Amino acid sequence: MHVAGKGGRVVVVVDRQMSRRLNVLVWDIPVRVFHWLLVICFAGAWITSESERLQLIHYAFGYCACLLVLIRVFWGLVGTRYARFTQFVKTPQAIGLHFMHILDAKDHSDLGHNPAGAYAMLGLMAFMLLIGITGYMGVKEYFGDWASEAHELLATLALCLVILHLVAALVMSVIERENLVKAMLTGKKMGMPEQAIRYPHYVVGGLMLGAVAYFYYLVVSGSLPSLTT
């Protein structure tokens, strides 16, 4: 919006592009299912980590987190526009430019993950896989106590990254004047109509949810002893 004086009057000129902004679909169902199931799996694994009685549940949450990451990697290659790694994995220079835009209060040019958030997400995915691998090694008693100690250390570091990610999301929600947590629930953000993705992919998201739920059942029921004993 621009304000200009004309003949002693104040004329308000509204930017056409800003006037066209509306709620558009950005995050498809598979991306949202991945995000919230990963939250549940990490929280569930953390809560059950010290209980021998809930050991199978702990294993199930941990292995499901790894399965989710693998599915997300696949969807990051073939998924919708904002789900693809090629859209949001940027150079270190792009991260610096992103923070400069924040300081200058400039809008982001795209609706997907910002460069800093993208690397945080990739870091969390890597941590989930490493936690799962060291957890499996601990179950099999490979390398003695080293695997168990590494497992606990990685889980603690991942928790710190999760907290940092949450704080950053809240801060960016204030800076961008848009609820980013809500956006990951609804899949929608403020943008131009042409920036929206076309399909939410309910079927893919449903299959993903079903696959993870079934895998969780297999682990909890003891049907995959090679992973738990």
Residue 9 has a pLDDT of 53
Segments forming the whole domain that contains residue 220: 22-228
Residue 221 scores a pLDDT above 70: yes
Q: How many CB atoms lie within 10 A of CB 194?
A: 7
pLDDT band at 108 (very low <50, low <70, confident <90, very high): low
Kindly state whether residue 2 falls inside one of the protein's structural domains.
no
Measure the CA–CA gap between 88 and 85, rounded to whole angstroms. 5
Residue 6 scores a pLDDT above 70: no
pLDDT band at 12 (very low <50, low <70, confident <90, very high): very low
Region of poorest pLDDT, from 22-26, 35-39, 156-160, 176-180: 176-180
Region of poorest pLDDT, from 30-39, 94-103, 211-220: 94-103
Kindly state whether residue 1 falls inside one of the protein's structural domains.
no
Kindly state whether residue 15 falls inside one of the protein's structural domains.
no
pLDDT band at 7 (very low <50, low <70, confident <90, very high): low
| Span 75-89, pLDDT tens digits | 999 999 999 998 887
CA 169 to each of CA 27, 141, 174, 191, 197: distance values in angstroms, whole numbers, following the listed order: 16, 38, 9, 18, 22
Kindly state whether residue 64 falls inside one of the protein's structural domains.
yes
Kindly state whether residue 71 falls inside one of the protein's structural domains.
yes
Residue 14 scores a pLDDT above 50: no
- Residue 135 burial (C-beta neighbours within 10 Å; 0-12, 13-18, 19+): buried
Residue 62 has a pLDDT of 97
Kindly state whether residue 4 falls inside one of the protein's structural domains.
no
Measure the CA–CA gap between 109 and 221, rounded to whole angstroms. 48
Does 113 or 34 have the greater pLDDT score?
A: 34
| Of 66, 103, 88, the residue nearest 227 (C-alpha) | 66
Residue 100 has a pLDDT of 72
Kindly state whether residue 11 falls inside one of the protein's structural domains.
no
Give CB contacts under 8 A, 24+ apart, made by 117-121: 117/88, 117/165, 117/168, 117/169, 117/172, 118/88, 118/89, 118/90, 119/89, 119/95, 120/161, 120/164, 120/165, 120/168, 121/165
Does 2 or 31 have the greater pLDDT score?
A: 31
CATH, residue 194 = 1.20.950
The structural domain count of the chain equals: 1
Backbone angles phi, psi at 11, to 5 degrees: -110, 125
Average pLDDT over residues 153-172: 92
Average pLDDT over residues 138-163: 94
Structure tokens at 105: 């209060």
Q: What is the average pLDDT score of the chain?
A: 87
Residue 86 has a pLDDT of 87
Kindly state whether residue 3 falls inside one of the protein's structural domains.
no
| Span 22-75, pLDDT tens digits | 899 999 999 999 999 999 999 999 999 999 999 999 999 999 999 999 999 999
